[in-house]
Amino acid sequence: MSSSALESPTSGLQHRQERSVLDDQVEDIYSGSSDTSFKDVTEFDTAGAAELLQDPDVRVIVLEKHKSLNSPGGTSRTDITVIKELQKNFNRRFRFATDHSHKSPFFGFYTLFWVAYGWAIIRAGIANFMNNGQVFGTLITHILLRDILWVFLADLAMYCASFFPFLLQLSIKHGYISWDRSGWVIQSLYQFVYIIFFLHIPSKYKFPWIGRTFLVLHSIVFLMKMHSYSFYNGYLWTIRKELDEAKQQLSVATSTNKKEEFQKIIRFCKAEIALQSSDIKFPSNISLKNYFSYSSFPTVVYQITYPRTKVIRKTYVLKKLCAIFGIFFLSIIVAEHYLQSPIMNSIAVGKEPLADRFKKYPVLLADLVAPFTMIFLLIFFMIWDAILDTIGELTRFADRNFYGPWWNSQSWDEYARLWNVTVHRFLLRHVYYASILSFRTTKQNAAFLTFFISSLFHELVMFAIFRKLRGYLMLFQLAQLPLTALSRTKLLKDKPVLNNILFWIGICTGPSIVCSLYLVF
């Protein structure tokens, strides 16, 4: 904020006024009226009200609802009371299997699920061995191993290149660059060049589709990490600049009213910076150690400190590693035995005349539904429950709220919030809220923009896999908006079973339809 802006009695509280726009959304999240599930750090040794204050969303409520601006800074007793009340509304992270899962009334169904999967895999393995003399086929294994060293080196290069935001913030810290003037422009341009360059590498060197998909997905993860780190600290640089300018204006102000307004601005800025962390104060967080830790954590939303566990449970890591490799090999068997043949048939049909494609398409789609659903569930469990949990345990990252019970979803917006909580948080902070604050847009337009940007990146992944730019997945994802509105009409409202049935029909058929469209048309 410029000095001239600070001279206005009302503009000095601009940040606080802008935050009030988000009041009802944030209140919904924490009052329990929203299905969004955030972390419950009470189950960790580092728990407590002071720890919860490090959560940016909690901080918004404290600043807005309980007027931390009126205190000289830091954490007041009133704030601690508020945090403890909010703590009661937090949902514990969900896991398919926990130490107490055997006490669940649905424990037997969980066991039956894996027994059924196991029997299907055993049958597929026996069939492969009888036909080919080996449990695993050759095609998928060959694709996985092909150019694996080059894929690893490309991924390592992506990781090293993701440290640029730290160097930029370090330059700002030492006064070489200003975030408001050129810093955010440099960061935005770098992000654009970064994603374009690392999308080009897999295509240029003709990596196999599995390697291409992995690199594209990982490049998007690094992109989100860089953006969150840069613009989180960029916001704090703006607050710090506003604080310095307010102090300067206060020293020369003559009007009592203006002095009071500048004092409010100073209190707000001090409280905003102080509430980021109780341990590390901004800008001390801009260090190689802090960024390296953030880069290794299974999250794409930056904050100065995170809740941490005290020890690494070796037996827990071993159990999760067994789950990773076990599900990985199960996925290969399912893909080779149940999915490979329908995929090859779809590719062959895609070369036929258009009229013949339409005739054969329903049969192809029917063959793809079951194996695609199996692969979807296996991959989800492997990534969100096994891999991310393993990384979290190895890095002592305590917030393991990677997903919620999305299988109970009754609408597509509920599914979008629950199936990938980490990315949902990123979109909520850096797209949804940012568009409301920066562009003064409505909630509806912000929601559409969030879905649109998300669908663009999903379409990018499809382009990496199929090397076709069709927009099928983008259209299907945007179709979730009218479907969400439909679920809230009198026709479907208050019909949880019917809505969940419709949701599962979409989950089972959606991936198959999208894949077959890219293959056939």
pLDDT tens readout for residues 129-141: 787 777 666 667 7
What would the two tokens of residue 337 be?
């035995």
Give the Cα separation of 47 and 51 in Å (integer): 6
Is there a single domain that holds both residue 426 and residue 353?
A: no
Contact indicator for 61, 26 with CB cutoff of 8 Å: yes
Residue 200 lies in a domain: no
Compute how many other C-beta atoms are within 10 angstroms of the C-beta atom of residue 158.
19
Give the Cα separation of 486 and 468 in Å (integer): 31
The total number of structural domains that make up the chain: 2
Is there a single domain that holds both residue 389 and residue 416?
A: no
Residue 246 lies in a domain: no
Is there a single domain that holds both residue 433 and residue 418?
A: yes
Give the Cα separation of 86 and 55 in Å (integer): 12
Final residue of a domain: which of 401, 431, 449? 401
Closest CA to 172 of 108, 230, 103, 85: 230
Is there a single domain that holds both residue 409 and residue 487?
A: yes
Is there a single domain that holds both residue 520 and residue 409?
A: yes
CA 278 vs. chain centroid, Å, equals: 25
**Domain of 346, in residue numbers:** 108-135+308-401
Residue 21 lies in a domain: no
Residue 220 lies in a domain: no
Predicted pLDDT of residue 277: 82
Give the Cα separation of 375 and 372 in Å (integer): 5
What would the two tokens of residue 144 be?
């996985």
Number of H helices, E strands in the chain: 25, 0
Final residue of a domain: which of 368, 401, 434? 401
Is 337 among the catalytic positions?
Answer: no
Least confident of 15-19, 392-396, 492-496: 15-19
Is there a single domain that holds both residue 429 and residue 342?
A: no
- Residues paired with residue 397 on neighbouring β-strands, in sequence order: 308
Residue 517 lies in a domain: yes
pLDDT above 50 for 436: yes
Is there a single domain that holds both residue 355 and residue 327?
A: yes
pLDDT tens-digit series, residues 328-370: 888 888 888 888 889 999 999 999 999 999 999 999 999 999 9
Give the Cα separation of 114 and 121 in Å (integer): 10
Is there a single domain that holds both residue 415 and residue 372?
A: no
Residue 103 lies in a domain: no
pTM of the predicted structure, to 2 decimals: 0.80
pLDDT above 50 for 76: no
Amino acid type, 417: R
Handedness of CA 25, 305, 63, 230 (dihedral sign): negative
Residue 184 lies in a domain: no
Is there a single domain that holds both residue 407 and residue 482?
A: yes
- 3-state SS class at 84: helix
Contact indicator for 269, 12 with CB cutoff of 8 Å: no
Q: How many residues does this entry show for the chain?
A: 521
Is there a single domain that holds both residue 367 and residue 440?
A: no
Is there a single domain that holds both residue 442 and residue 505?
A: yes
Give the Cα separation of 405 and 384 in Å (integer): 12
Give the Cα separation of 7 and 284 in Å (integer): 30
Exactly one of 15, 424, 430, 458 is catalytic; which is it? 458
Handedness of CA 123, 506, 301, 178 (dihedral sign): positive
Predicted pLDDT of residue 298: 96
pLDDT above 80 for 495: yes
pLDDT above 70 for 71: no
Is there a single domain that holds both residue 501 and residue 417?
A: yes
Compute how many other C-beta atoms are within 10 angstroms of the C-beta atom of residue 335.
21
Q: Mean per-residue pLDDT for 21-31?
A: 36
Q: How would residue 197 be classed by pLDDT, with cut points 50, 70 and 90?
A: very high
Contact indicator for 198, 219 with CB cutoff of 8 Å: yes
Contact indicator for 431, 453 with CB cutoff of 8 Å: yes
What Rg, from alpha-carbon coordinates, does the chain have? 25
Least confident of 137-151, 174-188, 240-254, 482-496: 137-151
pLDDT > 90 in the chain, percent: 49
Handedness of CA 170, 46, 273, 295 (dihedral sign): positive
Contact indicator for 459, 445 with CB cutoff of 8 Å: no
Final residue of a domain: which of 375, 401, 427? 401
Residue 491 lies in a domain: yes
Predicted pLDDT of residue 97: 56
Strands (E), 50-202: none
pLDDT above 80 for 254: no
Helix (H) or strand (E) holding 511: helix 496-520
Helix, strand, coil % in the chain, rounded to nearest 5: 75, 0, 25
Predicted pLDDT of residue 22: 38
Compute how many other C-beta atoms are within 10 angstroms of the C-beta atom of residue 36.
19
pLDDT tens-digit series, residues 207-221: 998 899 999 999 999
